[in-house]
């Protein structure tokens, strides 16, 4: 099975493969030195038709252009740190106003300075078009204005105080609220000429104007190659990324991409690789993942079993609790997921990240589930007893009948066809649910059918994702899974969550309280209350953490971040956090040395923790 972002586009692979046969260009026309190139798998699965942030094909998948267009600051999920990029520093003016200072060195690739006007224009263009980077910012930010050429000011809406969204949009470098800056002098000219911005492909390398250290070098239906800009404005601050080229060969399927990675034809892998550990344990290849042993990968969010409230027989929280106790968590992860993840914590908090652990009401969950780690056990006996006590009687065929006389089934549990790991999980869950008297059948439709059912709520059980990690976790996960008011896109990539149509006014109130307070203790208290409500209602059952598919082959490039040397987040190729990885690796045979700026400010670097920002806001004046 492949990483979550690819899943969304997996239905296009067959269509895209046809385009490969119609290529008008050829990679054979381009010669790039192998030892100067990092080859990647797991991001591009078909021809790229646009490199414009406002194109519908790019707006929801900014990883296509994250080497080209930079945010003001970039967030590191694993370390809870921010990296100043275009933004040099920030100032907390008061509790609802932030100012960002743009680096004096920052220039577009055509030599034009990057200014506050570019920032203001980029936000306003997104608002005007209703799509693109930072879509939805005006829900939380009342105004964005240029104070001078290199200073931009953000004011939060007084009637919708949400510090998570405010900071994320203003800083711009998070997966959930990604905001990239575009050159005003380029886009405004297009507008003056009457060009439809959304239709503009921005696919002519010689005309591309970017802020990042790479721009397109070559692109056709078979490959996309980014070339380094050797006179990049940031080289005196950050140095230059080590690879001169970053190449994405477009494979028709996961198997072909994985074979290239195993052979050393690719260096950076972000695909699902069955038994990845065999590559170094049995074959002795210079390949690794973040961890050398289980779970091998860092988490990329929580995957849930969503149970639709439209199915009245499954609405009772006690029935849902019985279902939760019947799930074979450990067996499922071992047999279907190759041990690539841990069971998710029932608090909805990703407990693997140290910075998130403070939000878990650990003692409560240990008491509730009678387990040492507070996680839900697999307990068929107790699950059966719960249903027995509720009056759900088993018939001769072992299927229960509800107190209202309705048979408990048949229900379906669905994931898209081809998602082999999740398909096996569905079979295992369905088998265990039959053991407690629920008739559950598996259904594996095409992705488009499955996703349509997800959006419309016409399902019984589905396995699906959440909002992912971020500095706003766990609020972002609670919002994604529980908020009935969400009707638009989250982070532009997927339509809103709350797939199961949960609606609890007490939870909705807490979802507003959590991001509105600067008091950590008040936030913890609100999160604890929410966790107790969720534990009682069981609106969705946390299953496991989706793996962040990050692997590397050191045949040509060494020094990749890993558990033993965690100098940066274990970023997948497609992650918006991946660019810094290219600055810290080295050619094989050279001495690997991580640039000093990867350290925190107190250690001579430029990274700063989120806590610094929170503290500045807490001590700031009100107005």
Cβ-proximal residues to 118 (8 Å cutoff; 6+ apart), any chain:
181, 182, 183, 184
Topology, domain 73-85+96-183: Dipeptide-binding Protein; domain 1 (3.90.76)
Residues 385, 387, 390, 393, Cα dihedral to 10°: -110
**pLDDT at residue 13 greater than cutoff 70:** no
Write out pLDDT tens, residues 289-342. 999 999 999 998 999 999 999 999 999 999 999 999 999 999 999 999 999 999
User: With bands split at pLDDT 50, 70 and 90, how would you rate the model's confidence at 355?
Assistant: confident
**pLDDT at residue 588 greater than cutoff 50:** yes
What is the DSSP secondary structure assignment for residue 416, as one 8-state letter? -
The average confidence (pLDDT) of the chain is: 90
**Both tokens of residue 251?**
């494979």
**pLDDT at residue 364 greater than cutoff 60:** yes
User: With bands split at pLDDT 50, 70 and 90, how would you rate the model's confidence at 280?
Assistant: very high
* Bridge-based pairing state of the strands 461-464 and 411-414: parallel
User: With bands split at pLDDT 50, 70 and 90, how would you rate the model's confidence at 62?
Assistant: low
SS3 of 437, please?
Answer: coil
**pLDDT at residue 186 greater than cutoff 70:** yes
Least confident of 238-242, 526-530, 589-593: 589-593
What percentage of the chain carries pLDDT values higher than 90?
78
Residue by residue, DSSP assigns 11-29 as: GGHHHHHHHHTT-SS-GGG
Write out pLDDT tens, residues 475-517. 999 999 999 887 444 333 344 688 899 999 999 999 999 999 9
Write out pLDDT tens, residues 114-146. 999 999 999 999 999 988 888 889 999 999 999
pLDDT at 29: 62
Sign of the torsion angle spanned by Cα atoms 256, 261, 264, 265: positive
Q: Would you call 289 exposed, middle or buried from its count of C-beta atoms within 10 A (0-12, 13-18, 19+)?
A: buried
Report, as an integer, the average pLDDT of 34-60.
Answer: 86
Topology, domain 299-547: Dipeptide-binding Protein; domain 3 (3.10.105)
Write out pLDDT tens, residues 597-619. 999 999 999 999 999 999 999 99
pLDDT at 331: 97
pLDDT at 178: 77
Instruction: Please give the model's pTM, rounded to 2 decimal places.
Output: 0.88
Residue 485 gets the label, from left (phi > 0), alpha (psi -120 to 50) or beta, of alpha
Least confident of 142-156, 235-249, 407-421: 407-421
pLDDT at 61: 59
User: With bands split at pLDDT 50, 70 and 90, how would you rate the model's confidence at 10?
Assistant: very low
pLDDT at 176: 61
Report, as an integer, the average pLDDT of 417-431.
Answer: 93
**pLDDT at residue 214 greater than cutoff 80:** yes
pLDDT at 39: 97
SS3 of 93, please?
Answer: strand
Q: Would you call 158 exposed, middle or buried from its count of C-beta atoms within 10 A (0-12, 13-18, 19+)?
A: exposed
Domain limits of the chain? 73-85+96-183, 299-547
Query: pLDDT higher for 303 or 18?
Result: 303
Report, as an integer, the average pLDDT of 98-108.
Answer: 98
C-beta of residue 287 within 8 angstroms of C-beta of residue 553: yes
**pLDDT at residue 279 greater than cutoff 50:** yes
**How many residues does this entry show for the chain?**
623
**pLDDT at residue 18 greater than cutoff 60:** no
Q: Which residue has the tokens 């385009």?
A: 19
User: With bands split at pLDDT 50, 70 and 90, how would you rate the model's confidence at 470?
Assistant: confident
Report, as an integer, the average pLDDT of 388-417.
Answer: 96
**pLDDT at residue 230 greater than cutoff 60:** yes
Cβ-proximal residues to 317 (8 Å cutoff; 6+ apart), any chain:
536, 537, 538
């Amino acid at each position: 099975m492949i990483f979550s972002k690819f899943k969304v586009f997996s239905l296009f692979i067959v269509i895209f493969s046809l385009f490969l046969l119609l290529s008008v260009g050829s990679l054979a026309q381009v010669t790039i030195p192998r030892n100067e190139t990092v080859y990647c798998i797991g991001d591009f699965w078909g021809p790229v038709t646009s490199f414009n942030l406002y194109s519908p094909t790019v707006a929801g998948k900014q990883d296509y252009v994250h080497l080209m267009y930079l945010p003001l600051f970039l967030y590191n999920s694993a370390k809870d740190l921010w990296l100043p990029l275009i933004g040099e520093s920030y100032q907390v003016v008061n509790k609802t106003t932030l100012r960002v200072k743009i680096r004096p060195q920052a220039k577009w690739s055509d030599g034009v300075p990057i200014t506050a006007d570019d920032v203001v224009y980029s936000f306003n263009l997104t608002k005007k078009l209703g799509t693109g980077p930072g879509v939805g910012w005006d829900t939380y930010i009342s105004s964005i204005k240029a104070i001078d050429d290199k200073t931009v000011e953000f004011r939060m809406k007084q009637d919708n105080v949400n510090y998570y969204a405010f900071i994320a949009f203003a800083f711009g470098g998070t997966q959930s609220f990604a905001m990239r800056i575009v050159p005003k002098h380029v886009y405004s000219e297009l507008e003056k000429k009457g060009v439809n911005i959304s239709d503009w492909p921005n696919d002519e390398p010689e005309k591309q104007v970017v802020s990042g250290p790479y721009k397109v070098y070559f692109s056709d239906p078979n490959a996309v190659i980014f070339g380094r800009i050797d006179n990049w404005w940031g080289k005196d601050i950050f140095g230059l990324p080590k690879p001169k080229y970053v190449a994405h060969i477009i494979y028709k399927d996961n198997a072909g991409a994985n074979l290239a990675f195993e052979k050393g034809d690719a260096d950076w892998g972000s695909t699902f690789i069955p038994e990845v550990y065999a590559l170094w344990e049995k074959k002795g290849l210079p390949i690794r993942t973040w961890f050398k042993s289980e779970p091998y990968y860092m988490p990329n969010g929580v995957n849930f079993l969503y149970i639709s409230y439209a199915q009245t027989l499954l609405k009772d929280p006690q029935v849902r609790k019985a279902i939760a106790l019947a799930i074979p968590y450990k067996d499922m992860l071992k047999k279907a997921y190759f041990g690539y993840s841990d069971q998710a914590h029932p608090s909805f908090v990703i407990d693997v990240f140290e910075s998130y652990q403070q939000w878990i009401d650990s003692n409560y969950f240990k008491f509730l589930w009678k387990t040492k780690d507070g996680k839900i056990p697999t307990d068929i006996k107790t699950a059966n007893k719960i249903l027995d006590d509720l009056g759900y009687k088993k018939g001769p065929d072992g299927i229960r009948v509800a107190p209202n006389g309705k048979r408990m089934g048949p229900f379906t549990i669905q994931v898209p066809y081809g998602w082999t790991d999740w398909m096996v999980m569905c079979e295992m869950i369905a088998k265990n649910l039959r053991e407690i008297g629920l008739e559950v059948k598996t259904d594996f439709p095409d992705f488009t059918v499955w996703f349509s059912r997800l959006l419309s709520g016409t399902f019984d059980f589905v396995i699906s994702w959440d909002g992912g990690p971020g500095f706003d976790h766990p609020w972002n996960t609670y919002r994604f899974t529980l908020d009935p008011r969400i009707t638009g896109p989250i982070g532009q990539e997927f339509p809103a969550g709350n797939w199961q149509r949960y609606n609890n006014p007490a939870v909705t109130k807490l979802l507003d309280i959590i991001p509105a307070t600067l008091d950590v203790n008040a936030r913890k208290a609100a999160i604890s209350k929410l966790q107790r409500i969720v534990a009682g209602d069981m609106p969705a059952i946390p299953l496991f953490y989706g793996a962040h598919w990050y692997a590397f082959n050191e045949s040509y490039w060494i020094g990749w971040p890993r558990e033993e040397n965690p100098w940066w987040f274990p970023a997948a190729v497609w992650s918006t956090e991946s660019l810094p990885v290219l600055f810290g690796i080295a050619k094989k045979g050279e001495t690997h040395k991580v640039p000093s700026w990867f350290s925190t400010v107190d250690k001579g670097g430029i990274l700063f923790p989120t806590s610094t920002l929170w503290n500045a806001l807490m001590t700031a004046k009100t107005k």
